Amino acid sequence: MNVSEVTTIADLFVLCSGRGERQVQGIADGIVEKAEAAGRTPIGVEGYSSGRWVLIDFGDVVVHAFVPEERDLYKLERLWGDAPVVLKIE
């Protein structure tokens, strides 16, 4: 989601889900690994130990990886509904 016009938090939010905590942690690991290989180091990673909602902050891009229950609970797509979707893969 391109949130640059609706918040100063970041330019882009990436929202993704895994089937369970370990898969969400694996997704987070893969994102950090690929980003570091491309020269991008995260400013911070939150929620990794629980694996229910992992937030990876790159400054201009914030990645949210959820288990389905957390994604349904927080509904970030609705909260940031004014932001245009850049790419949607289902």
What are 15-52's pLDDT values in tens digits?
A: 999 999 999 999 999 999 999 999 999 999 999 999 99
Q: Name the residue ranges covered by the structural domains of the chain.
A: 12-79
User: DSSP string covering the chain, please?
Assistant: -B-TTT-SS-SEEEEEE-SSHHHHHHHHHHHHHHHHHTT---SEEESTTT-SEEEEE-SSEEEEEE-HHHHHHH-HHHHTTTSPPS----
> Which numeric CATH code is attached to 12-79?
3.30.460.10
- Supply the pTM of this predicted model: 0.92
Q: What is the mean pLDDT of the chain?
A: 95
